[in-house]
Chain A
């Protein structure tokens, strides 16, 4: 497993890609979930009772930053199928959507635009935020292990 990670991230381009993915996801999700505010001052805080949400955001961002560059590596270097890539993107998207639609600007815009359908969708994503994020982590973890196994076979990496 370590050899596979080394193989991908020894290429500086994929290391940069991973850092960019992690930074963008973690900052974006922390802003959407109101752990970071940009106006009127840049400030961050973790309100009591929201620690679990914070940790889940970090895990989703870290796994996305690991899985997506590894799959891009498979597609670019080994010219393999994009099937596993979609698992990584799907996991990242549902993990991000879970927290984005609550009483903040995105939830408000969704409800204002789509009325009762938007309200139902927003309520679902808000009510099941933690389980949805755990499912997203599960999808990303499975995608990670299948990607590592594929890379081992495709690149014939020794255990």
Chain B
């Protein structure tokens, strides 16, 4: 084997490895590597990865708390229709930003979602939390042990997840997101900003799909 063949082999392996890495992230989920990311007037740099097509003309910024039952209502009653008609069709994308204020387990749940993001499982973990929410705040359904159990059931590397969660690695990230919410006059969860090409509109509460449709259609 001559030197030229070895170099060509290394280049081919590098290209294959690069492509494999690029396609290992689900197509609907874009890991947030942009520390200066913002949508409209809101800094979403410390928020979730973008759900949907990054080049979509509209971005829905959702401020939420994993223990908030109105966020649960929105997740189950309004979000499915938005996902089907706007996110999956490339008309809109969505970013989730924490406003973790309801109880002592809320910030921990938000931090856990970013520990899951470290392993490319942000949205899976996010969905699991809203599917597993119990009606009582701070009754233990979102304490550290349960968050680790959720991670385990999703097949997340538990050792990495535990060290991330126990170290409070993302505590400041969640605080930054809370601060963004306050700076933008979000006074409760869920709170939304619909950011279009030329304007942005604030919506408060778990409003029905018809309202989101009306606002977004007026922006496209």
Contacts and interface: CB of A to CB of B under 8 A. Distances in A.
Given A122-B102, A127-B139, A104 B73 contact: no
Contacts of A48: 76-77
Given A111-B101, A127-B135, A103 B211 contact: no
B162 to A, nearest CB: 27
Interface in B198-220: 201, 203-208, 210-211, 214-215
A119 to B, nearest CB: 6
Interface residues of B, number: 32
A111 B187 contact: no
Interface of A: 34, 37, 39-41, 43, 45, 47-50, 102-105, 107-109, 111-112, 119, 122-123, 126-127
A43 B215 CA distance: 13
A104 B190 CA distance: 8
A75 to B, nearest CB: 38
Contacts of A104: 70, 188, 205
Contacts, number: 77
Contact of A119 (B103, B190, B211): B103
B39 interface: no
A27 to B, nearest CB: 15
B137 interface: yes
- Chain B CB count within 10 A is highest, among A47, A103, A108, A111, for A103
B211 A47 contact: no
B187 A105 contact: yes
A102 B73 contact: no
B201 A40 contact: yes
B187 A43 contact: no
A50 B215 CA distance: 25
